Structure 1
Amino acid sequence: MKVRRVAEVGAGCSGLTCVKACLDEGLEPVCFESSDDIGGLWRFKVMTPRGRTLHFENFVLKIF
């Protein structure tokens, strides 16, 4: 039986879930991502002075 190839656009949270579902079904997914890394909106790039990442650049957490 010939393996069916599936094109999947975007390697964010939903795209990676789609790739996993295709693999579970015996398909051959090919993922196309425009950036240099996977993760989409969950890819953290902003670093704090302590070396931790922030999801939102201007997010401030106040604990009382």
Structure 2
Amino acid sequence: MDHTNTHCNSKVLRECTLPLTGKEVVQGGLTIAECADGVTEQDLRDATLATIIRQPQER
């Protein structure tokens, strides 16, 4: 998924700008499960306006 549009603006926003069907269903932010080859966590954070939560480390 591209996180930015052709003008380099984030497509992943802090708030939805469209009519909502499940308000308050998702809370807290996005969790990064894994990054594609060649993409770092910082790359994702730089391209995303939404809150990103670090996934807890497996023990």
Q: Give the TM-score of the pair, scaled to structure 1.
A: 0.28
Q: Give the TM-score of the pair, scaled to structure 2.
A: 0.29
Greater percentage in strand: 1
Greater percentage in helix: 1
Greater RCO structure (CA 8 Å; 6+ sep): 2
Structure having the higher Rg: 1
